[in-house]
Structure 1
Amino acid sequence: MRVLVVGGGGREHALVWKLSQSPEVEKIFCAPGNAGIASLAECIPIKAEEIEKLQNFAREKDVHLTVVGPEAPLAAGITDLFRENGQLIFGPCREGAFLEGSKVWAKQFMAEHGIPTAQFEIFQNPGEAYRYLKNASYPLVVKADGLAAGKGVIVAESFREASQAVCYIMEEKAFGGAGDSIVIEEFLRGEEVSVFAITDGHTFYPLPPVQDHKAVYEGDRGPNTGGMGAYSPAPVLTKQLSEKVNKEVFEPLLRGFQKEGITYRGVIFGGLMITTGSDLRVLEFNVRFGDPEAQVLLPRLQSDLSPLLYEAARGNLRAVAPPEWSTHTAVCVVLASRGYPGDYEKGKEIRGLEKVPEFKNAAVFHAGTAFKDNKTVTAGGRVLGLTAWDPSLKLARHKAYSMAEVIDFEGKYYRRDIGYRALERS
Structure 2
Amino acid sequence: MIKSKVLLVGDGAREHAIAEALSRSVNEPRISALVNHINPGIRRIVESTGGSLVIGPLNQEGVVKAINVINPDLVVIGPEEPQFAGVADKAVEMGVPTFGALSRLARIEQSKAFARWLMWRYRIPGRIAYRAFRSVEEAIEYVKNAGSVAIKPARQSGGKGVRVFWVNQAYLRDGVNDAKETQLIDAANDVLKYGDVEDLIIVEETVSGVEYTVQVITDGVNILPLPPIQDHPHAFDGDIGPECGGMGSVAGPGARLPFLRDDEYWESVNIVKSTINALQRETGLRYVGVLSGQFMLTSYGPTLIEYYSRLGDPEALNALALLRGDFLELIEAAVEGRLPSFNYSFSNEVTVAKAIAPLGYPHRRDLAAGRRISIDFNGIKKLGCGLYFGSVEYVNGEYRTLGSRAVEILATGSSYSEAHAKAEECISLVKSSDWKLIHRVDVGEPSLMERRIRDAELVREVYRWRRSHGLGRVRIDWVPGRDVAVYDYS
TM-score interval, smaller chain: over 0.9
Distance, in Å, in 1 between the alignment partners of 2:191 and 2:219 is 37
**What is the deviation of 1:360?**
4.3
For 1:128, the aligned partner's letter is E
Pair 1:373 & 2:388 matched: no
TM value normalised by structure 1: 0.94
Q: Deviations over 1:47-76 (max 9, x none)?
A: 452322323422432211111011011011
CA spacing shift, 1:173–1:245, aligned 2, 3 Å: closer
Q: RMSD of the TM alignment (CA)?
A: 2.0
Distance, in Å, in 2 between the alignment partners of 1:181 and 1:299 is 37
Distance, in Å, in 2 between the alignment partners of 1:243 and 1:401 is 32
For 1:132, the aligned partner's letter is Y
CA spacing shift, 1:351–1:172, aligned 2, 3 Å: closer
Distance, in Å, in 1 between the alignment partners of 2:383 and 2:331 is 27
For 1:160, the aligned partner's letter is D
**1:209 aligns to what?**
228
* 2:324 match: secondary structure: coil
Contact 1:196–1:206 (Cα < 8 Å) also in 2: yes
Query: Higher mean Cα deviation, 117-126 or 256-265?
Result: 256-265
For 1:152, the aligned partner's letter is G
Pair 1:329 & 2:353 matched: no
**2:306 aligns to what?**
284
Query: Higher mean Cα deviation, 35-44 or 62-71?
Result: 35-44
Contact 1:193–1:211 (Cα < 8 Å) also in 2: yes
Contact 1:173–1:179 (Cα < 8 Å) also in 2: no
* 2:368 match: secondary structure: coil
**1:170 aligns to what?**
188
**1:5 aligns to what?**
8
Pair 1:235 & 2:253 matched: no
**What is the deviation of 1:270?**
0.5
Distance, in Å, in 1 between the alignment partners of 2:372 and 2:278 is 49
Distance, in Å, in 2 between the alignment partners of 1:226 and 1:47 is 23
Paired residues for 1:22-421 under 5 Å: 22-32=25-35, 33-42=38-47, 44-115=53-124, 116-138=126-148, 140-157=149-166, 158-170=176-188, 175-177=193-195, 180-233=199-252, 234-247=257-270, 249-260=271-282, 261-276=284-299, 279-321=301-343, 323-343=344-364, 344-409=367-432, 410-420=435-445, 421=448
For 1:379, the aligned partner's letter is L
**What is the deviation of 1:132?**
1.1
Gap regions ≥5 residues in structure 1:
none
For 1:165, the aligned partner's letter is Q
Query: Higher mean Cα deviation, 390-399 or 352-361?
Result: 352-361
Distance, in Å, in 2 between the alignment partners of 1:304 and 1:102 is 33
Aligned residues: 422
For 2:182, the aligned partner's letter is Q
**What is the deviation of 1:141?**
0.9
Q: Deviations over 1:72-106 (max 9, x none)?
A: 11011111111111111101111100000111111
Q: Deviations over 1:375-394 (max 9, x none)?
A: 22222320010111111111
* 1:36 match: secondary structure: helix
Contact 1:168–1:174 (Cα < 8 Å) also in 2: no
CA spacing shift, 1:106–1:48, aligned 2, 3 Å: farther
Contact 1:356–1:363 (Cα < 8 Å) also in 2: no
> Percent identical across equivalent pairs?
29
Q: Deviations over 1:123-152 (max 9, x none)?
A: 1112221121122121x1111122312213
Contact 1:355–1:406 (Cα < 8 Å) also in 2: no
For 1:309, the aligned partner's letter is I
Q: Deviations over 1:366-420 (max 9, x none)?
A: 1111111122222232001011111111101100000111211132111110024
Contact 1:337–1:381 (Cα < 8 Å) also in 2: yes
Distance, in Å, in 1 between the alignment partners of 2:55 and 2:308 is 24
Gap regions ≥5 residues in structure 2:
167-175, 455-490
**1:422 aligns to what?**
449
Query: Higher mean Cα deviation, 414-423 or 323-332?
Result: 414-423
* 1:318 match: secondary structure: helix
Distance, in Å, in 2 between the alignment partners of 1:18 and 1:172 is 34
* 1:336 match: secondary structure: strand
Query: Higher mean Cα deviation, 353-362 or 124-133?
Result: 353-362
Contact 1:215–1:227 (Cα < 8 Å) also in 2: yes
Distance, in Å, in 2 between the alignment partners of 1:240 and 1:149 is 30
CA spacing shift, 1:102–1:17, aligned 2, 3 Å: same
Contact 2:63–2:90 (Cα < 8 Å) also in 1: no
TM value normalised by structure 2: 0.82
Query: Higher mean Cα deviation, 150-159 or 224-233?
Result: 150-159
Contact 1:350–1:377 (Cα < 8 Å) also in 2: yes
Query: Higher mean Cα deviation, 252-261 or 64-73?
Result: 252-261
* 1:63 match: secondary structure: coil
For 1:286, the aligned partner's letter is Y
Contact 2:233–2:247 (Cα < 8 Å) also in 1: yes
Distance, in Å, in 2 between the alignment partners of 1:346 and 1:245 is 38
Distance, in Å, in 2 between the alignment partners of 1:281 and 1:180 is 23
